[in-house]
Structure 1
Amino acid sequence: MSDHSHTNEGHEHGEHAGLSKGKIWQVFGILLLITVIEFIIALVLIPKGVMTQHIGNYIYIILTLLKAFYIVAYFMHLKYEKLGLQLCLTVSFIFIGYFIVLMLIEGGWLNLHMFSH
C-alpha cells in the first residue's frame, strides 16, 4: 500500500501562505469597491455631466486593468509564482495589448482613407 501522507512538496517557501480567507475577502472588497466606482461613474457622473464620456472611458480602462491585476494576482495565484514567470506573462500581455491598439488604429486609418474618396 502506498502512503498518502500530505507533504509540502513543491511548496517549500510557503508560497500560498498569504492567501487566507481574510486575504480573499480583502481582495473581494477591493474588487467590489472598484465595481461600485465604475457604476457611479456610468450611472451618475457621466449622465449628470460631471464627467465627459471620453474621460470616463479612460477611467474605465484603468479600473478594469486594476481589477484584472487583482484577479490574476490573487485568484489565479500569479502573485505567488516566481519573478521570471511573472515578467514573462506581463511582458507578453503588454505586447498583445500594444498590437491590438496598433491594429485598431491602423484599421481605423484604413477605413477613414479608403472610403472617403
Structure 2
Amino acid sequence: MANPWRGEVALVIDGQSHVMRLTLGALAELEAGLDSGSLMALVERFEGGAFTTRDVLALIVAGLRGGGWQGRSADLLVAEIAGGPMAAAKAAAELLARAFMLPGEEA
C-alpha cells in the first residue's frame, strides 16, 4: 500500500501492485533522461496539460525505480497498466506533485 506522506503512489502493472516514489536518485535519473528542459520544465508541462506520453513513461520508470523496481523502460512497452494510459498519466502527475509537496499540503 502506498503511503502518500512519503510521496508514494501505487500503480498496478500486469496485475501486480507497485509502489512508486521519486527519490533524489530517481529524480536525478529522470532529469538526465529528459530530452529537453529540466525537472521544472516537466512540472510546467504537467501543470499546463502539455505533457507527452514520453513524459508519463519517464516518470513511471523513475517512480518504479525509486520504489525498488529493477526493470527497464522497455519492459513497460508491452505491460498492461490497470486503467490504461489515463491512469498512468494520473499516477505520473500525482507522483510529481507528491515529490515536491511541502508537509501539510495535499496533492
TM-score (norm 1): 0.27
Query: Higher relative contact order at CA 8 Å, sep ≥6: structure 1 or structure 2?
Result: 2
Quick check: which one's helix share is greater? 1
TM-score (norm 2): 0.29
Q: Which has the larger radius of gyration?
A: 1
